[in-house]
Amino acid sequence: MALEDFTKALKDTDEIDITVTGRSSGRKTSRPVWFVRDGATLYLLPVKGSASEWYKNVLKNQAITLAAKGAKATAKATPITDAAQVHDVVEKFRAKHGVGEVKKYYSKFDVAVAVPLT
């Protein structure tokens, strides 16, 4: 039920909160991120690419909690490092959020993250 509620909440927002586990501290940390949904997959794009702290944490522990409009779900985040696949995710972000907005906030496009919504 949690995943179903979360999936419904995605329709009314452009931003979600993700919670990851610190790779050294083991503490849970949360932050807001933009996303793109494509079918049963949620794509995330770290603002500073592979230098983003939350991305480095996902490399160590792929468990992630997603929250939107009060609905939460847990899932497994899968890093994407293939240049062609990352490019596809970047283009999805540009289409959804606008070329100028992506250029304004994102500085490195070397990785992305896929989160299955199943």
Please count the CA atoms within 13 angstroms of the CA of 6 that sit on its side-chain side.
22
Q: Round the average pLDDT of the chain to a whole number and report it.
A: 95
pLDDT greater than 70 at residue 1: no
All structural domains of the chain, each given as residue ranges with its CATH number in brackets, are 2-116 (2.30.110.10)
Residue pair 35/44 in contact (Cβ under 8 Å)? The answer is: yes
78-101 pLDDT, tens digit each: 999 999 999 999 999 999 999 999
pTM of the full predicted structure? 0.94
Among 52, 33, 9, CA closest to 93: 33
Residue pair 64/20 in contact (Cβ under 8 Å)? The answer is: yes
